[in-house]
Every structure is written in C-alpha cells, then in structure tokens.
Structure 1
Amino acid sequence: MSFAVVDAAPASAAADPQAELRITRFLGEQRLPHKMEVEGTTLGGLSGIDRDPRTGTWYFISDDRWRYQPARFYTGRLDIDPATGAFTGVHIDGATTLLRSDGSPYPAYGLPESADPETIRYDRWSGRLLWGHEGDRPDERNPDIPVSDLFVRWADTDGRTIGALPIPRNLRLTRTSRGPRRNFGFEGLTFAPRTIAAVVEGPRFEDGQPPTVERGAPARITVWSRGGRPLAQYAYPIDPLPAAPIPPTGHTDSGVSEILAIDDDSYLSLERSWIEGVGYEVRLYEIDLRPATNVLRRNSLTTGGPYRPVGKRLLLDLGTQRQPTQNLESLAWGPRLRSGECTLVIGSDDNFDDREVTQFLAYGVRGCPSAY
C-alpha cells in the first residue's frame, strides 16, 4: 500500500536566514541512577519533560503502567549555568500520582481505563499541566487487551484531572483494522502561542503501513485552538528506517516521539527508531506546517489524491552525539543564557531496563522562541 504525497518544502523556505533556528553548541550530559527511589516510587520510563519558566521547576512524566507504581509525574530541577551554559546536574525531589476525575489512580496495564503517559507540558498561562495518554487496544499478539482510548487531559499540579481536549473521531481506537495502531497513539504534545498540538507516533491503519527501509509513513499532527476546538490535522512524513534489522525479519519500531513548538507554524520534532540488531537511531528536525494540507476531514491518506505533508529540515542527528544512542523521547526548552542563546533539553526513557539509561542532553540554540 502506498500513499500519495506532494514533495514537502523545506521547513526554512520562508524564514529569514538571520533568524533561522540552529544548534550552536553542546552544553553537557547528565544521567540518573537506574531505578532510583523518589518518595517511595521507582524512577524510570521518563517519556516527557517540561519546565515552568517562572519558577524553574521541571516536570517529568513516567510511562510506568503500575509495573511499579500508578501513573505519575515527577518534579525537580536541572542545573544549567546561565553564564557559561554548563549543564551540571539533575535533581528529582517530588513524585505525584495522576488521578482520574473521581480522584482514583489510573488502573494498571491490561485493565480498562489504564493510562500510558507519554508526554507532558506545563501551561505557563494557566499554571496547569497537559499530558497525553497513548491509548491501548488489542492486536494479534495481545488479543485480550481492552480498548483504552487515547486522550489529552488537563491536570492541576497535584495530579487531579480538571478537563480534556476533544479527540477527533479518526483517532478513536478500535478492535478492528481502523484508527491508530497499538503503540502508535499520542506520543508528543506542545503549546504554541495560540494553539495546542499533539502527534501520534505512527500511521493509522487507513494511512498506510509503518516505515520500512524502502519507504516512510505518515503520522498525524492534530492542532487545537487554545479554547480546545480541533482546527486541523497535518501529515508528518516519517523517514524510512535508517537501517535494516538483523536478522531481516527482526522487530522495528519507528515514529515521532515528541514535538516542541517554536511558534504557531513551526515545531521541533524527534524521530526515534528502534531496530533489532542495530539499536536506537534518533534525529531532530525543524518542521513547518504552513505548506501542509489540512487532512482533518480526510479518513485515509492512501486514497483520495495527493496531499502535501509538513516541511522538514534536519537539525541534528543524535546518532552522531553520545554513544550508544538512547531511547530519546523528551524535548523541552530550558532557561535562556546570558549569551542570548536558549537551551534545549532532550531526555531518554530507559524502559526500566538496566541495559538503557535515563539520560539528559542539553544544547545551546539560536532562533528559539522569544518567551524562553
């Protein structure tokens, strides 16, 4: 199955070259101990991070589904020197359980209404948190898993649910070959000045097959107004796999693991691949929504004629940075430096696996949002 695409324009095609976003320097790496204890919980699986720019508090969401404790987020701080940019420490000092509207924790994996938290944002305008649940559904290897619809929910800083964004019908999970695939629900989330956006990790059944070495695949970015009204969806063109699995029949998992707004029209995106026998490959892109076709009302991207996906510009191949490449899933703006640079922090999910690490990488950036 193929999908009809008009070639994407470069993300920077309409940008002022002097204002073009660019990575200026590497500021440092920090790691946390494997399965460290924080307030009686087991730290790990950190799949999303964000920062309150007023207080400097950082939020870290775990995708633990009661393997150890209920769905939760952590609070802490990152030590980044405003004069030199040196990134010298990560401190986690609080753990907060995410609560449903009735005040109870989310059920464990494999139960109805369980939660798989994959992304979190702090809203500096309202002081609330917004977080995304990837959803769950049965597949051929897990036929007894109940449907747990993906969602994006508001919470206060005590973890209590206080609202939700309406989810477009085409992102509803099913028991059939319709809608998002299992493990391809909401993975990234961002606030822009006038909008909110979330991305599913990979293609819906109707939008084509997951990426292979020969071809990429489309994921959908959904954009809401600040009032919560769905405005648009845009196709994000995931790259073909950067390498073949070993053996050739080996497992692969490739898609978008996070997005981060630069402004209402342009974001950063992390594309993360895990390839059996190869490991992780991760790239950071700048993307531009302006040339893209609004596909919110389009049920399939494999039929109905051509469409234009978002534009992409490669900023950084993380595979050339710190080896081995980790399962990078988090992306957030840090504090601005006295040099005028702002900081970009990229974090990894260790999957609670002692072969992987909880890692944070910090970079200096020019051309970043004026709010940071």
Structure 2
Amino acid sequence: MKLSYPLTAVMVALLGNTAHAAPFSLDYIGQNIVTSGTVFNGTTVGGLSGIDYDSANGRYLAISDDRSTFNPARYYDLSLNLAQFNKNVAPGAAGVTFNSVTTILAPGGSPFAANTVDPESMRLHKGSLFWTNEGQRSGTGFQNPTVREMNLNGSYVRDFAVPTYYNPSGSAIALTAGDKGIRNNLAFESLTFSNNGNTLYTATENSLAQDDPLPATVANGSESRVLAFDVASGNAIGEYVYMTDAVVDAPNPTNAFATNGLVELLNIPGLSDSFIAVERSFSAGIPGTGNNIRLYLTSLSNASNLLGVDDLDNTPTYTSMSKELLLDLSTLTNSDGSALALDNIEAITWGETFNGNPTLILASDNNFSATQFTQFLAFEVKAVPLPAAFPLFGTALLGLGMNGWRRKGRKLA
C-alpha cells in the first residue's frame, strides 16, 4: 500500500478508554451509497469485500467476491469525491465513480469458471496486486483457500504457501469429530502488509474446524488464525490467534442465522506489528440491517507464534493477539440524529487527504442482494498534539501487550 502522506503519528482514538489515549481521532465525514443492481461496463457492481488506495493515481481498487456467478471474478478501479459524502439518510452516490473493471484470471490464463473462486481481499504493493481466495467447504465441493499475487491486468503471478491444515477435509458442516480446515464462508477475508512491505498477513474469519467445536455464536467468540508470509519467498513465517467477539445480537427467532468474524486487517504506518481489525456481526430477524461493525486496535506484541500447530488443542497454553476497541460504528448518526444504517462492511483502507488530513475509508459487500446496498464510509483522521500524545500512546501499547488472551487447550468431542 502506497501512501502520499506520513501516518507515523496517526492512530484511531481508543474511544471510551481514557487510560489508553491514542494520538489521533476519527471524525465521521459521511457516506455514499451505490444501489444494488448498478451495472458498469457490463458487470453487476457489488460484493466489494476488499479495497485499497493507489496514491500514485489517486484512485481506489476494490475486489468483488462474485464467484464468477454474475460475471467473471474481477476488481474495479474507482474514484471517491469526499466532498460529495454527507450524513444524510439517503446520501446518494455522486461521490463514487467507477473508472474501469479488470477480470481476474486463473493460473492458466482464462477467467475463473463459475463457483471455482471466492475473492475476498486485495492489496496493492510495488505494482502488483495481492489477493485472497476464501475457498469453499460445502455439499457442492471443497476448495482450498489461497493467497495469490497477480499483475494489474489480472494475470496470475504466484501462490503463497498456505499450510495444508487450512485445507478442508471431513464433513461439509465442519462440526464432526475429525473435521479439519476452513469453515465455509469463514476463511481468508483479510489481507495487509507490514509497514516495511516484507511480510504479508491474511486471517481466517473464524476458527479452523479442528480448533473449536463451533464458529462464533451469541455465547462465544472464535479463534481466528492470522497467518504471516515472507513476501520474497512466499513461505509462511508466523501464525497467531485473534479472538473475535461473540455475536453481538441474538437473532430472531433464536435459531435464525447469526455470525461474527474478523473480516479485514489494515496495517498502521508507524506502528510495527499493529493493525486495525474489522469485526462484522450479523443477526437475522432483528430491527435494522442486522449488522454491527466494530474496529479494534490489535497487536502481535507478546502473541504466541503457533506456525505449524495444526490443532490449537495441541498447544496447552498460548497468548492471543491483544485487542482494544477503537470504534463501534453503531454509535454513528445521520444529520437528523437517527442511527446510521450499516451494511455488510468488509473492506478498509487508508485513503486520500481531506482538509489536509488523512482519511480512513470503509466499504460494504452487498451480497448482490436487492435488500442491501454498497456503502462507502469516510473518516477524517486527526492527530492529537504529539508531545502529549506519544507518552500516553506508549502506555497504551504496554497495556495492550499485557492484554493477550491465554487459553487452555481442549479436545473436540
């Protein structure tokens, strides 16, 4: 990810936690909404699950999670005019312009066939695009998750070496003793680089089947795995656990669909081994959209490196990544005071400057549903005066390093 401004002293405020003050704050600028069914260059716009800013060209690149069902797997080049963003209930889409669309190609050079790929996240680095394919675990078949590099024209470059214990095996429901690998639709949703660009991180949305008896529920969170690769070699060099929250709201009825998971990571310039984590909780049948989005500050500091541990129950005790709440998006309001309706936010990037300050941009995956929408949210990032902020922030990092979650191993029933 290339940035045209320094972000060393820019961090999201730890809202509601004065003991862990951070050296920047987030000011909500507003939103734009692209309606479902919008067509651009013969493709249906939607499923935007990852976004990154290309500062050299002043544009954004967003990957669609279309499994080559509506159109071939693809990514979009788009521009945002933040002056057109607002806090209205019906904000319009005047600030969003789609410039081009590029087909993502399989290793053989052809577009992906229907239901053979599930793109989820994408980052630009040194003229290449790096992206995740979530894989699949369902009654229609199993597909291994992948992390890949491609050229800007969508052509294949290489695969990264994902450990084999991520590959799905056993039952399709991932709830049977002996099941291993990713859970369906709960795999590689995240992608980000280290600040020096030498390490690439991805993460599962929830635990692997062998790590936990259940994915996240109203009663419990889930042990997502954060996997680190050496960019030069493509080999895995680290693996850590990020503990998600439980599902925020009980669905209605109580047996209806509900989920919460880690859907994106974003590196924080100036802070090594630290990220913004996006957790998205959804519960069916409740008032509003059913979505609850939270941003966390998370760190690898003091977290156990579990690379090669195929089942977390084989490690009696370990320390997970620390996390502190940055922002609960349910606190955002429209200009009329009403609560901001949130769609399925799954994408995050540092963006262009606004009023001389950096921005943070979020985007939603509308699931190609007529009842959802493609939502862009913009925040202005403002630094707190440095002499006061840095000592406090040093204290915050020390506290974060002590807050990792230690877990006693257990076996699946």
Name the TM tier (shorter chain).
0.7 to 0.9
1:321 to partner: Cα distance = 1.9
Match of 1:331 in 2: 348
**Bigger mean CA offset, 53-62 vs 293-302:** 293-302
Q: Give 1:366 deviation, angstroms.
A: 4.2
Deviation for aligned residue 1:348: 0.6
Aligned residue in 2 for 1:84: none
- Counterpart-to-counterpart distance in 1, 2:382 and 2:230: 27
| Aligned residues of 1:80 and 1:88 also touching (Cα < 8 A) | no
1:309–1:366 distance in 2 versus 1, CA, 3 Å: farther
Q: Deviations over 1:307-362 (max 9, x none)?
A: 111010111101222532210000011023454x3110010111111211100001
Partner of 2:309: 298
1:1-372 pair list within 5 angstroms: 20=22, 22-80=24-82, 89-109=95-115, 114-123=116-125, 126-138=126-138, 143=139, 145-176=140-171, 177-192=179-194, 193=196, 194-208=198-212, 209-227=214-232, 228-262=234-268, 263-278=271-286, 279-321=290-332, 323-337=340-354, 339=356, 341-366=357-382
Amino acid aligned to 1:239? D
For residues 10-46 of structure 1, what are the alpha-carbon distances to aligned partners after superposition, in whole Å with 9 as ceiling and x for unaligned? Answer: x99xxxx999354331112111132211111111111
8 Å Cα contact 1:22/1:315 also seen in 2: no
Q: CA deviation at 1:88?
A: 6.8
**Superposition TM-score, scaled by structure 1 size:** 0.86
SS in 2 for 1:344: strand
Please list the CA deviations of residues 209-259 of structure 1 after superposition, one character each: whole Å capped at 9, or x if unmatched: 212222211100001122122111110010012121111111112111111
Is the Cα–Cα contact under 8 Å of residues 23 and 363 in structure 1 kept in the other structure?
Answer: no
Residues matched between the structures, number: 339
Structure 1 residues 264, 61: closer, same or farther in 2, change over 3 A? Answer: same
Give the match's secondary structure for 1:206: coil
Separation in 1 of the partners of 2:26 and 2:247?
A: 28
> CA 1:60–1:284 in structure 2 vs 1: closer, same or farther (change >3 Å)?
same
| SS at structure 2 position matched to 1:362 | strand
Amino acid at match of 1:294: N
CA distance in 1, matches of 2:81, 2:20: 30
How well do the aligned residues superpose, as a CA RMSD in angstroms?
2.3
SS in 2 for 1:162: strand
Distance 1:47 1:118 in 2: 5
State the SS of the aligned residue for 1:319: helix
For the residues of structure 2 that align with 1:224 and 1:311, how far apart are their CA atoms?
Answer: 20
TM-score by length of 2: 0.77
Distance (whole Å) between structure 1 residues aligned to residue 355 and residue 99 of structure 2: 27
Question: Relative to 1, partners in 2 of residues 1:38 and 1:218: Cα closer, same or farther, differing over 3 Å?
Answer: same
Q: 2:248, 2:260 within 8 Å by CA — same for their partners in 1?
A: no
Answer whether contact 1:28 1:88 (CA < 8 A) is retained: no
Shift of 1:299: 2.0
Report if the CA contact (8 A) 1:52-1:58 is conserved. yes
CA deviation string 1:168-225 (max 9, x = no partner): 1221222441111111110010112231100111011111121222221110000112
Q: Spell out, residue by residue over 1:245-296, the C-alpha distance to the aligned partner (whole angstroms, 9 max, x if none).
A: 1111111121111111114400011101111223111101110111211111
Contact between 1:35 and 1:42, CA under 8 Å: does it hold in 2? yes
Kept in 2: contact 1:77–1:92 (CA 8 A): yes
- Whether contact under 8 Å (2:218, 2:246) holds in the other structure is yes
Distance 2:59 2:185 in 1: 30
- Aligned-pair CA distance for 1:132: 0.5
Note if contact 1:76-1:92 (Cα within 8 Å) is conserved in structure 2: yes
Counterpart CA distance in 1 for 2:263 and 2:148 is: 18
Report if the CA contact (8 A) 2:247-2:282 is conserved.
no
Segments ≥4 residues shifted beyond 6 Å:
none
SS of match in other structure, 1:179: coil
Tell me the distance in 1 between the aligned counterparts of 2:35 and 2:192: 28
1:70-96 deviation digits (Å, cap 9, x = unpaired): 111111111236xxxxx9711112111
Give the counterpart letter for 1:310 in structure 2: M
Conserved 8 A contact 2:247-2:259: no
Q: Aligned partners of 1:18 and 1:275: how far apart in 2?
A: 31
Contact kept, 8 Å, 1:45 with 1:63, in 2: the verdict is: yes
User: Please, which runs of 5 or more residues in structure 1 have no aligned partner?
Assistant: 1-10, 82-86
SS in structure 2 at match of 1:121: strand
